[in-house]
Every structure is written in structure tokens, then in C-alpha cells.
Amino acid sequence: MAEGRPRQAGGLVPSLRVGQGFDLHPLVEGRPLVLGGVVVPFGRGLAGHSDADVVTHAVCDALLSAGGLGDLGRHFPPSDPRWAGADSLSFCRHAAALAGEAGWAVGNLAVTVVCDRPRLGPYLPAMTAALAAALGVDPGQVQVTAKAAEGLGFAGRGDGIAALAVCLLVATAP
């Protein structure tokens, strides 16, 4: 039996699994802002070992969590120089492949990006398309939304950006 498909009481194998992911990074000068695999024109970018894309990081953690496959740090540790500056969409492709090997397929994905600036509305369709392509699913299975922090906390002050993701996995085989 695959690692991500544990038996429950009574010997039943679940046909659906839900995972949640969260990530945040501070905004800094001198880096491009990458969200959902899309470069968003802005005066600052996110600090991190890879491209620091909080959207794809949250997506990966949600997908890996749902599949019982660990987390982003387990598969792409920031201590590993191979991931310095890496395109985080490659992390999504890897997470989707791991889920597939464990007998799961993405049912749907919902992501919320939290920041006051920049305004993300014009970039959400491109983020949706990029994430769907990386996960190998129809764009209709992916929903990316943006919420303002209304001036509250680090996201409201413009110190950083956060993302939350929820992923539903569907069993591909009994």
C-alpha cells in the first residue's frame, strides 16, 4: 500500500483527503516578486532560499499534507544549495508527482493570498493557469483569490505576504 493511503478503522481506505498549507515571507528590496509562478511588477520581492513564492509553497504544503507525504521542508530543505533561487513551480510538479505515485490526484485547490499591496486582481488568472499547469489539472480545479489585510499586521503594513491553501485529493485506485 502506498505511504499516503493508510487504512482506517475497519480496514477502509479513504477515497478523499484534505490538506492545508500556509506560508509567509518578508518583502525585501532587490528581488522580483513571484506569486503563483507569476512575476508581479512591484518594487520589492519576497526573501527566501528559492524564489520565495509563498503561493506555490502553501500549495505544495497543502498537497503534501493531504497525501500524508511530509512538507515542503522535507522535500526541498532550505539548507540544500540545489534549491537556491529555484522556481517554486518545480516544487509543485514534484509534489503532484509524489501524490500521483501514492495513488492520489488533485480534486481541487483553493489559495488565498494576503497582502494590501500590490493589488493582485489582474494577476490571479495567470497564477491560476500556472498552478494548474504545474499540477497537471484543469484550471477550473484551481481557485486563487487575494484578500487585503486592511492595514493590519505584517501584510497590512507591507512587511510581507502570506498565502493559505487547501487541497482536496481524490484516490485514483482502490
Condensed to tens digits (0 to 9), the pLDDT of residues 114-123 reads 999 999 999 9
Residue 32: inside a domain: yes
Please check whether residue 137 is in contact with residue 131, taking contact to mean a CB–CB distance below 8 angstroms.
no
Residue 130: inside a domain: yes
Residue 2: inside a domain: no
- d(CA 71, CA 54) in angstroms, rounded, equals 14
Query: Does 113 have pLDDT greater than 60?
Result: yes
The closest alpha carbon to 65, from 36, 113, 102, belongs to 102
Residue 7: inside a domain: no
> Could you read off the pLDDT of 18-68 as tens digits, one per residue?
999 999 999 999 999 999 999 999 999 999 989 999 999 999 999 999 999
Count of structural domains within the chain: 1
Residue 129: inside a domain: yes
**CATH code at position 136:** 3.30.1330.50
Share of the chain above pLDDT 70, in %: 92
Q: Domain residues for 113?
A: 14-171
- d(CA 90, CA 56) in angstroms, rounded, equals 9
The 10 Å Cβ neighbour count of residue 58 is 27
- d(CA 136, CA 32) in angstroms, rounded, equals 26
| pTM (predicted TM-score) | 0.91
- d(CA 102, CA 108) in angstroms, rounded, equals 17
Cα-flanking dihedrals φ and ψ of residue 89, to 5°? -60, -30
Residue 1 — very low, low, confident or very high, per pLDDT cuts 50/70/90?
Answer: very low
The closest alpha carbon to 154, from 54, 79, 34, 31, belongs to 54
Lowest mean pLDDT among 7-16, 87-96, 130-139, 160-169: 7-16
CA angle 110, 114, 119 (to 5 degrees): 105
Q: What residues does 111 pair with on adjacent strands?
A: 144, 165
